[in-house]
Amino acid sequence: MIALLLAQTIAITGGTVHPVSGPRLANATVLIRDGRIVAVGTNVSIPSGATRIDAAGKWITPGLIDGTGQLGLVEISAVPGTREASVQGDTIAAAFNVAEGINPASTLIPVTRIEGITTALAVPTGNLVSGQAALIDLDGATIEQMLVKSPAGIVADLSERAKDNAGGSRAAVADRLRGVFRDALEYERRKVDFGRAQMRPLSASAADLEALLPVLHARVSLIAYANRRSDIETALRLAKEFKLKLILTGAAEGWEIAPAIAAAGVPVLVEPLSNIPSYDALGIRYDNAAVLAKAGVKVALLEPDTHKSRNLRQQAGNAVSYGMTWDQALRAVTLAPAEIFGVADRYGSLEPGKVANVVVWSGDPFEFTTGVEHVFIRGKEVPLTSRQTELFERYKKLPPTY
Amino acid sequence: MRPPLSLLLALTGACASAGKGTSAAQAPAPAAPTAPATAPSAAKSESTSVERLQYPSTYARHPNPPVLIRNATIMTATGQEIPNGSIVLKDGRIVAVGAKVDAPAGAVVVDGTGKYVTPGLIDDHSHLGVYAAPGTDAESDGNEATNPVTAEVWAEHSFWPQDPQIPLAMAGGITTIQALPGSANLIGGRSAILKLIPARTVQEMKFPGAHYGLKMACGENPKRVYGRKGGPSTRMGNMAGYRAAFVQAESYRRRWDAWNKDHKGDPPERNLRSESLAEVLRGNMYVQNHCYRADEMAQMIDLAHEFGFKIRSFHHAVESYKIADLLAKEETSVSVWADWWGFKEEAMDGIQQNAALNQQAGGRPIIHSDDPGGIQRLNQEAAKAMYAGQRSGIPITRDQALRWITVNPAWAIGLDSIVGTLEPGKMADVVVWSGDPFSVYSKAVQVYNDGWLVYDRADPAHQPRTDFELGEVPAPGSDR
């Protein structure tokens, strides 16, 4: 509310700026006006009246983007009344858009953003086609104020856990998706016949088929969760058959076929700190992100545990530890996800014209020593407080004062 | 002639020192296998089960040449951080630590330039082996969820030494774990204290002289599991359940203690459930209590006072910072995560300064994993908790944070006189790190367990693989 009224100019001066879109700039200024970045450089003139933030010795990056999780869609994992990410009774839930389930008052949002995550994908879960994901900024009093892009993709599950939605076989998963995609295209061609009930029954509801059309016309991405190499290959095969704009997520065994993924031009969302073998991914290992990146795949890094989204920077640091370059890892939590979700014109780097999601860190954002000093979301500085900081303040001296 | 029951139970590996609440100072020498010095004679055909060894450790130190690690930063966990220091391992022991040491003849020399050396890390809350990968129902052996009180089950009887998560944890610098039953039950059973080494049987991994832990659980889990299966369905029901079990154990202990004095008449009938609980009452078995909320921890302390035992550690303890003064006074440690919260209601008040606030209050914080991923980076979790404290103005030292993952968990399982610090005479459980272990960019490069080089990041010959992995999981650095 306040943010909309403020016409504010902020100059973050003297820090080391990592624009991501270009080389690192020492002793540089980031100038923000009315929610946008207006200048980045070492020779920026600062308007009088600008609020100055002295960032000498600090590191400045774009706000981090976590390309998964259920921020805004879950409060307490074990309490069903606070979970909004999954619908029952529809294995093809393509028309289910999570946006109106988002709770802007969720306590997870301040907990996460004060550690430098400013944007996240709110992802539907469950079913074969889980629904439509929404990209949100972690600030705003209303859903409308938070939304960056919706849908940012339609989610389908090709992993082991989806099998029961298709009768219990991986082969049936692929077959079911193919059938639904074909029906959606037929529905599009024969909407009149469908309306008159002059068509054979289709394999999903009209609303779900309708929702899939932008995917089948490659205007909206299909975000496919697949881990086993053969499942990843199935996703690539389906994408080729139907000319889909595919995003792979999970992709635990992606390293095994990194050149093929690169050749297909398919980006991958990876959780670096994931290496426990299961029958869904016996080849899972820590250097997956690095191998994919080295092969030329566009990689974004994830922290899938919603309550721990703030650990995205730990994930990125470990990706570096297991072979990514530092620059690749920073890109993989900023510009790469912005590109993958189709918002790189507005997000992901520190460039004039982009939305001013900016974080001032005390040092290397991936290191544990580093703390967040300032967070700007859409050009507004957010207070570094959360329910957790309030609990700490209450109990830092015992007994507490209630 | 027959030894008293308490001594026989001690020979099971539960405890070699019957002293109440002591650390395992009198435990057998770690380098020696727990071959029964006083094994009952097999010829005694009239002997009964209580008089025989029960599931003894068969741990034996792996023979190794002496090792000298030099020019490294040695983090001792005793208050000292020695730059350009050296450490010598010989016959399973640390024999020298310092700026200058004498290397024994024939020592393997490891150049530690730029590297850091710490004690082997200890995770006092793990489910490795009892919830093994690949995580199918067939491998789900952690919760005997058939009765809210199952003090009679032992985690070691579920433990699978071929769990492929074990070498992953070894590569993270873990040398000792407490493998616990799950938290479905009010009283879930005995823990297993294990050396994290490649082995065919769990007995080969059992830490000689360790105290068994007794897993207990507060709060939501028992309520959820048993609420519609005969109870308990409330927190007050939970309390009544613990109390009923310990009331039985009190009279069981009395009967056995009386019989052990003179062995007159037939021995009382054994009851495995009460046998475990009686060992808690005798102070030989350590209560490891899953408990999230501050008010419930206070209830459990009252329960412990009622029956005259000590709770050794509250596990998870996300609200322990709210009663850090009470816990410090009680000398109960807290085994916590760096930053987990929100996955259930009793976890909603988790904060990142939890360990630091307990340290500040004079308590004994421990960073535990409860997770096959987290156990691989306990150093990172401790780093997060340390810096979260420091950033909030709590002056946690690097040594204190290192103790959170070494000697403090060693204390919680009664082994702090044997492992957990780098001091002459301690067991040679040692990790060499590529850099500062509190940096996100550092990794364990060598792990010595009782002097045995069980993991070497640079040498595939020291990267053990479980049977499960063969032909299933591609070896590191290889394709399928």
Q: What is the pLDDT of residue B38?
A: 43
Q: How far off is chain B from A372, nearest CA to CA, in Å?
A: 10
Q: Would you call B339 and A308 a contact, using CB atoms and an 8 Å cutoff?
A: yes
pLDDT value at residue B60 = 98
Are the C-beta atoms of B367 and B356 separated by less than 8 Å? no
CA distance linking residue B432 with residue B424, whole number of Å: 17
Between CA B403 and CA B120 the distance in angstroms is 11
SS3 state of residue A270: strand
To the nearest 10°, report the CA torsion of B167, B173, B177, B179. -40
Model confidence over B286-331: pLDDT tens digits?
999 999 999 999 999 999 999 999 999 999 999 999 999 999 999 9
Average pLDDT over residues B443-462: 98
In angstroms, the CA A31 to CA B358 distance is 42
- The answer, for B269 touching chain A at a CB cutoff of 8 Å, is no
> Which residues in A20-74 belong to E strands, given as ranges?
25-33, 36-41, 51-54, 59-62, 64-66
**Cα pseudo-dihedral A251, A255, A260, A266, rounded to 10:** 40
Domains and their CATH numbers in chain A: 1-63+348-402 (2.30.40.10), 64-343 (3.20.20.140)
Nearest chain B residue to A390 by CA: give it: B351
CB atoms B372 and A276 under 8 Å: yes
Tell me what the pLDDT averaged over chain B comes to: 91
Cα(B386)–Cα(B354) distance, rounded to whole angstroms?
10
Q: Which of A108, A159, A321 is the best mutation test for B, with the most CBs of B within 10 A? A: A321
What does the alpha-carbon distance between residue A80 and residue B131 come to, in Å, rounded to a whole number?
Answer: 26
pLDDT for position A46: 97
What's the predicted TM-score (pTM) here? 0.94
Q: What is the pLDDT of residue A6?
A: 52
* B134 closest CB neighbour out of A277, A368, A371: A277
Chain A residues with beta carbon closer than 8 angstroms to that of B168? 275-276
Percent of chain B with pLDDT over 90: 86
B148 touching A, CB under 8 A? no
Phi, psi of A131 (to 5 degrees): 140, -165
Q: Which residue, among B139, B325, B330, B343, would best test binding to A if mutated, counting the most A CBs under 10 Å from its CB? A: B343
Report the C-alpha gap between B469 and A284 in whole angstroms. Answer: 12
Q: Which pLDDT band holds residue B239 (cuts at 50, 70, 90)?
A: very high
Cis amide leading into B148 (omega within 30): no
Question: How far apart, in whole angstroms, are the C-alpha atoms of residue A92 and residue A180?
Answer: 8
Q: What share of chain A is helix, strand, coil (3-state, %, to 5)?
A: 35, 25, 45
Which residues lie closer than 8 Å to B393 by C-beta, 6 or more apart? none
B137 in contact with A, Cβ within 8 Å: no
B391-450 residues touching A, CB cutoff 8 A:
391-392, 394, 438-443
User: Under an 8 A CB cutoff, do A371 and B391 touch?
Assistant: yes
- pLDDT over threshold 70, residue B155: yes
Q: Is B295 on the interface with A (CB under 8 A)?
A: no
Q: How many CB pairs under 8 A join A and B?
A: 116
Q: Rounded to an integer, what distance in angstroms lies between the CA atom of residue B130 and that of residue B370?
A: 12
Mean pLDDT of B166-183: 98
pLDDT of residue B22: 33
Tell me how far apart the alpha carbons of residues A266 and A240 are, in angstroms, rounded to a whole number.
Answer: 11
Residue A79 phi, psi dihedral angles, 5° rounding: -110, 105
Residue % of chain B over a pLDDT of 70: 90
Domain extents for chain B?
Answer: 121-416
Q: Which residues of B touch A278 (CB under 8 A)?
A: 133-135
Subunit contact B373:A274, Cβ cutoff 8 A: yes
The predicted pLDDT at position B117 comes to 98
Which of A107, A108, A275, A306 best tests the B interface by mutation, with the highest count of B CBs <10 A? A275
Answer yes or no: is pLDDT of B32 > 60. no
Contact residues, B window 300-339, toward A, CB-based 8 Å cutoff: 321-325, 339
Q: Which residue in the set B351, B373, B384 is minimally distant from A368, CB to CB?
A: B384
Say if B21 is an interface residue toward chain A (CB within 8 Å).
no
**Max CA distance (Å), chain A:** 74
Label the pairing between strands B311-316 and B116-119: unpaired
Is residue B11 very low, low, confident or very high in pLDDT (cuts 50, 70, 90)? very low
Left, alpha or beta for B397 (phi > 0: left; psi -120 to 50: alpha)? beta
What pLDDT was estimated at residue B296? 98
Give which of A396, A397, A402 to mutate to test B binding, by max B Cβ within 10 Å. Answer: A396
**What pLDDT is recorded for position B51?**
84
Q: What span, in angstroms and rounded, lies between the C-alpha atoms of A265 and A259?
A: 10
Judged by CB atoms closer than 8 Å, whether chains meet at A275 and B352 is answered as: no
For residue B15, the model assigns a pLDDT of 34
Query: What confidence tens digit (pLDDT) does each residue in A30-88 have?
Result: 999 999 999 999 999 999 999 999 999 999 999 999 999 999 999 999 999 999 999 99
Q: Which positions of chain A have pLDDT values less than 50?
A: 1-5
Helix (H) or strand (E) holding A14: strand A9-17
**Residue-level pLDDT at A7:** 60
Give how far A177 is from chain B: nearest CA, Å. Answer: 27
Q: With contact defined as beta carbons under 8 Å apart, do B272 and B252 qualify?
A: no
Strand partners for B431 = B118, B447
pLDDT of B19-31, one tens digit each?
333 333 333 333 3
Residue B238: exposure state from Cβ atoms within 10 A (0-12, 13-18, ≥19): buried
Q: What is the dihedral of CA A138, A139, A144, A145, to 10 degrees?
A: -130
- Read off the DSSP letter of residue B11: I
pLDDT of residue A5: 47
∠ at Cα A229 (A223, A234), nearest 5°? Answer: 55
Q: Look up residue B4 and give its DSSP letter.
A: P
Minimal CA separation from B473 to chain A, in Å: 5
B121-416, CATH topology level: TIM Barrel (3.20.20)
Q: Measure in Å the smallest separation between the Cα of A243 and chain B Cα atoms.
A: 30
- The two beta strands, A358-361 and B67-75, are unpaired
Question: The tokens 């109390």 sit on which residue?
Answer: B243
Q: What is the rounded distance in angstroms from the CA atom of residue B102 to the CA atom of residue B66?
A: 12
Pairing between strand A222-226 and B174-179? unpaired
ipTM of the complex: 0.96
The pairing of strands B365-367 and B333-336 is parallel
pLDDT of A365 reads 98
Q: How far is CA A283 from CA A72, B26, B475, in A?
A: 32, 45, 9
User: In B, residues 176-195, which contact A (CB 8 Å cutoff)?
Assistant: none
Cβ distance of B325 and A398 shorter than 8 Å: yes
Burial, A56: exposed, middle or buried (Cβ in 10 Å; 0-12, 13-18, 19+)? exposed
Surface of B (22-81) touching A: CB under 8 A = none
Q: For position B195, what pLDDT does the model report?
A: 98
Contact residues, chain A to chain B, C-beta under 8 Å: 75-79, 107-108, 256, 273-279, 282-283, 285, 307-308, 310-311, 314, 317-318, 320-321, 366-369, 371, 388, 391-392, 395-396, 398-400
As a whole number of angstroms, the distance between CA B249 and CA B253 comes to 6
Alpha helices per DSSP H over B365-445: 378-391, 398-403, 407-412
Q: What is the pLDDT of residue B45?
A: 57
CA–CA distance, A4 with A6 (Å, rounded to integer): 6
At residue A217, what is the residue type?
H
In b/e form, how buried is each residue of B83-119, taking b as 16+ CB within 10 angstroms? eebbbbbbebbbbbbeeebebbeebeebebeebbbbb
pLDDT tens digit string along A227-284?
999 999 999 999 999 999 999 999 999 999 999 999 999 999 999 999 999 999 999 9
Q: pLDDT digits over B429-446, tens only?
A: 999 999 999 999 999 999
> pLDDT tens-digit profile of B393-438?
999 999 999 999 999 999 999 999 999 999 999 999 999 999 999 9
Residue B137 has a CB neighbour count (10 Å cut-off) of: 6
Query: Per residue in B331-356, pLDDT tens?
Result: 999 999 999 999 999 999 999 999 99
Look at residue A90 in the predicted model and tell me its pLDDT: 86
Nearest to A395 among B352, B357, B440 (CB): B357
pLDDT at B50: 82
Bridge partners, A120 (sequence order): A66, A136
**Residue B111, both tokens:** 């150049």
Q: Do B350 and A388 touch (CB under 8 A)?
A: yes
